Amino acid sequence: MTRRYTFSRYASLAPALCLAIAALASSGTAMAAEPQLLGSFRDWNAFSYEENGNKVCYMSSRPKKDEGNYKQRGDIYVLITHRPAEKSLDVVSVTTGYTYQPNSEATVSVGNQNFKLFTDGDTAWARDERTDKSLVEAIRTGSAMVIKGTSNRGTATTDTYSLSGTSAAYDAINKACNVKR
């Protein structure tokens, strides 16, 4: 079964947008509360917040190295998100700081495992829950992750992430969202 995502809903998780959410919250018009830091775990951070009365928990990291022949690039990060009220767990999303080439895929490599993610705008996602679960397990047990993608201008990029701290960050989001694993 292919997942159907509401991209604007997941985009609210972007670390760069957290300040905008907080500003909206202070004006009384936000649907989400300001994310609370659950902890920093080496190269990963864990957060939770309330959205429409439901708890959302996520962990995030930025690449240690980003490569490509580009002049400018926006925020680059990976998220693993739990939305237990929606029975949505372990959703991996990759934001690249550019718009992906239409109908392209991003490739995620962890050790000798490779995963293909579909792209939409500036974000890449797994096609199904099984892929998300396998990718999360690889992330939790690996030491480095390499993500390759191609921009809508044809620029190839390679982003390298440290996976140090992923197990502790994952445990923190599980605990905060009362997810039993």
pLDDT at 26: 35
Sheet holding 54-61, edge to edge: 36-41, 44-51, 54-61, 77-83, 88-95, 123-125, 113-120, 105-110, 144-150, 156-162, 65-68
**Residue at 48 is within a domain:** yes
Note down pLDDT in tens along the chain; length 181 residues.
334 343 333 333 444 333 333 333 333 444 578 999 999 999 999 999 999 999 999 999 999 999 999 999 999 999 999 999 999 999 999 999 999 999 999 999 999 999 999 999 999 999 999 999 999 999 999 999 999 999 999 999 999 999 999 999 999 999 999 999 7
**Residue at 2 is within a domain:** no
**Residue at 74 is within a domain:** yes
**Residue at 116 is within a domain:** yes
pLDDT at 31: 58
**Residue at 54 is within a domain:** yes
- Domain containing residue 32: 7-176
**Residue at 65 is within a domain:** yes
**Residue at 1 is within a domain:** no
Distance in angstroms (rounded) separating the CA atoms of residues 174 and 143: 21
- Give the CATH number of the domain where residue 41 resides: 2.60.40.1880
The total domain count for the chain is 1
**Residue at 127 is within a domain:** yes
Indicate yes or no: pTM above 0.95: no
pLDDT at 141: 96
